[in-house]
Amino acid sequence: MKTLSLTRPDDFHLHVRDGALLTMVIAHSAKQFARAMIMPNLKPPIVTVQQAECYHQEILTALPPEATFKPLMSLYLTEATSIDEIKKAAHSDVVYAFKLYPAGATTHSDLGVKNITSIYPLFAEMEKQDIPLLIHGEVTDEKYDIFDRERVFIERYLVDVHQQFPALRIVLEHLTTAEAVQFVSAASSQVAATITPQHLLYNRNALFSGGIRPHYYCLPILKREEHRLALVNAATSGNPKFFLGTDSAPHTQTMKENTCGCAGCYSAFGALELYAEAFERAEALDKLEGFASFYGADFYHLPRNTDTITLVKSAWQVPDNYGNNEINIVPLAAGSTLQWRQS
Ligand code: DOR
Ligand code: ZN
């Protein structure tokens, strides 16, 4: 049987929620990844180092007993974040980054930032402390078409932030457009990006294939095929600016299949298998290890992992759901066949 061994990967963009949902999903990520950058958009959000320490402990408690998974915490930026909190975060051994959500951009972003220039003093301090800024890069103004919001964000805000704070390490999260690939490629080595499995595997037709498909709805939304191809090229190029971040974002089936369904795709059940599918289709499986296991760690100045995981080429069908008596989650790619499986 064909096998593929990789240095154990890290997931640099992950939502694990809290409570019963956390307990249900965390084992999936811990089985594949050594570490993950944990998103802070809980309700209420994680805005202080102290809250991040509590949440970190909650995640460790929810892990299966044998797991060695390390959560890397991020803090949710608001207009009320203090310079002092940035200094504390920079000296903390659980917090690794700040996350910028433009207010209203996505799930639980209502307490995010309304006026980006008003937090420039915070960016200056983050630059000084050398703590990375992670960005959900979409404008929120309804006057912009939902398919243009990433491009407009880059033009209106990101270009200026990078220019004003050239030493600030920035990760543009979950890229979805050719323009974002272009921006990140052309920027200095302080700028990098994560790419999700859904944006590599699907274009926006997946949202409307034979009817409306809420389990393919995430933000930023899936784009046209030409954008998907640009993302596949970036991910498989061997350029260390592009690395793995699943944005696995579990919502219960009822919250997704709803008159106002939540944004988010659940991919942690088989994240590496989904990426392997995309890389194999691009005939670039040899580029998967750099993308999944090296470039993110290097960007964050973390040691590369030393153990390995193995995928075997053995087709399997993604289940229709994952869950227990309490919770039911429909995974990304439910019912479809994947070629690789973690052994
Ligand atoms: O689709 C998404 N879901 N995009 C995000 O930015 C947030 C995430 C979530 O937390 O559900
Ligand atoms: Zn996210």
- The alpha carbon of 263 and the centre of ligand 2 are apart by a number of angstroms equal to 10
Ligand 2 center to 3 CA (angstroms): 31
Which residue pairs from 158-161 have beta carbons closer than 8 angstroms and sit at least 24 positions apart in sequence? 158/183, 159/183, 161/116, 161/123, 161/133
Amino acid 105: pLDDT: 80
Mutate to test the pocket of ligand 1, among 11, 37, 107 (most ligand atoms within 8 A of CB): 107
Phi, psi (5° rounding) for residue 273?
-65, -40
* Contact residues for 16 (Cβ-Cβ < 8 A; gap 6+): 22, 25, 26, 29, 36, 38, 59, 71, 250
Is any ligand 1 atom within 6 A of the Cβ of residue 106? yes
**Residue 215 near ligand 1, beta carbon < 6 Å:** no
Question: What average pLDDT values come out for the chain (343 residues) when binned by 10 residues?
Answer: 96 98 98 98 97 98 97 97 98 98 86 96 98 97 96 98 98 98 98 99 98 98 98 98 98 98 98 98 98 99 98 98 94 98 97
Nearest ligand to the C-alpha atom of residue 102:
1
- DSSP assignment letter at 293: I
81 ligand 1 Cβ < 6 A: no
Task: State the CB neighbour count (10 A cutoff) for residue 252.
Answer: 19
For residue 324, what pLDDT is reported? 87
Active site positions, annotated: 247
Residue 39 domain boundaries: 3-342
Distance 249 CA to ligand 2 centre (A): 7
Predicted local distance difference test score (pLDDT) of residue 106: 81
- Which residues are 105's β-sheet partners? none
Ligand that lies nearest to the alpha carbon of residue 17, given by its number in the listed order:
1
Q: What's the whole-model pTM score?
A: 0.98
| Total domains present in the chain | 1
Ligand nearest to C-alpha 16: 1
CA distances from residue 102 to 78, 150, 338 in whole angstroms, order as listed? 9, 12, 35
Cα torsion through 10, 13, 17, 20, rounded to 10: -30
100 touches ligand 1 (CB under 6 Å): no
Q: Is 219 in the pocket of ligand 1 (CB under 6 A)?
A: yes
CA 300 to ligand 1 centroid distance, Å: 22
Q: What is the pLDDT of residue 104?
A: 86
For residue 264 and ligand 1, the question of a CB distance below 6 A is answered with: yes
Residue 298: which CATH number?
3.20.20.140
Where are the strands (E) in 84-158, listed by range? Answer: 95-100, 133-135
Cis peptide leading into 44, omega within 30 of 0? yes
